């Protein structure tokens, strides 16, 4: 682990490669798993405030799941997450003509209808954040459905943290991202 400020970072963020390859995985991270996307407490308000602008971007199954469960649910661990459609995909997932999952929240934002981009947990993926008592841990989450992203990242020689530059800056600021770049440079000099 590497410590930067009050964050503990998996060394895999600096050594492993990753670039999403949606044509290969079809956005499986929006469909697979046993719970919806984790939500921060302040994201719940943003989601609820923008829900009427987001709903037109969703498919009928997603709208029905949200109408039934609400904009968010509490999972078995007591954490806020997005609702699912029949225990499968995120209720905010939509599918394009090629069957690729897209985020309806992000689509509403890109269309200028919503000021909420998408949950930071989705934006940071494959980083999973764990809040400990004294530190926040940023871990690289390995999942077989992301094998095409690992292959693509290896071909392009893009490290995990560099692929997630925009998301890391959104979550932690530009100064923190620059510290990651410095840590990577120091690591390569050793």
The pLDDT of residue 114: 95
Rounded to an integer, what distance in angstroms lies between the CA atom of residue 132 and that of residue 87? 29
pLDDT mean over 37-64: 95
Question: Are β-strands 73-74 and 80-81 bridged in parallel, bridged antiparallel, or unpaired?
Answer: antiparallel
Range of the domain at 11: 1-18+126-190
Is there a domain that residue 59 lies in?
yes
| Residue 181 shares a structural domain with residue 161 | yes
pTM of the model: 0.89
94, 116, 138: which is the final residue of a domain?
116
Residue in the block written with tokens 């199954």: 61
| Residue 44 shares a structural domain with residue 92 | yes
| Residue 10 shares a structural domain with residue 40 | no
pLDDT mean over 70-91: 93
The pLDDT of residue 141: 92
| Residue 95 shares a structural domain with residue 140 | no
Residue in the block written with tokens 């693509």: 152
pLDDT band at 190 (very low <50, low <70, confident <90, very high): low
**Strand partners for 101:** 95
| Residue 132 shares a structural domain with residue 164 | yes
Is there a domain that residue 43 lies in?
yes
pLDDT mean over 45-51: 95
| Residue 100 shares a structural domain with residue 49 | yes
| Residue 96 shares a structural domain with residue 165 | no
Residue in the block written with tokens 């923008």: 50
The pLDDT of residue 34: 79
Give the chain's domain count. 2
49: pLDDT strictly greater than 70: yes
- Signed CA dihedral, 36, 95, 163, 149: sign only: positive
């Amino acid at each position: 682990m590497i410590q930067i400020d009050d964050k503990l970072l998996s060394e895999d963020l600096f050594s492993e490669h990753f670039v999403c390859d949606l044509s290969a995985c079809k956005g499986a991270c929006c469909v697979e798993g046993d719970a919806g996307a984790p939500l921060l407490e302040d994201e719940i308000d943003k989601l609820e405030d923008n829900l009427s602008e987001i709903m037109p971007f969703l498919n009928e199954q997603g709208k029905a799941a949200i109408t039934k469960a609400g904009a968010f649910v509490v999972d078995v661990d007591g954490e806020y997450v997005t609702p699912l459609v029949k225990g499968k995909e995120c209720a905010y997932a939509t599918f394009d003509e090629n069957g690729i999952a897209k985020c309806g929240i992000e689509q509403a934002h890109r269309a200028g209808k919503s000021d909420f981009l998408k949950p930071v947990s989705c934006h940071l993926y494959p980083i999973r954040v764990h809040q400990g008592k004294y530190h926040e841990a940023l871990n690289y989450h390995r999942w077989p459905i992301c094998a095409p992203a690992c292959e693509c990242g290896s071909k392009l020689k893009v490290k995990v943290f560099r692929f997630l530059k925009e998301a890391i800056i959104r979550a932690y600021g530009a100064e923190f991202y620059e510290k990651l770049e410095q840590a990577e440079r120091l690591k390569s000099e050793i």
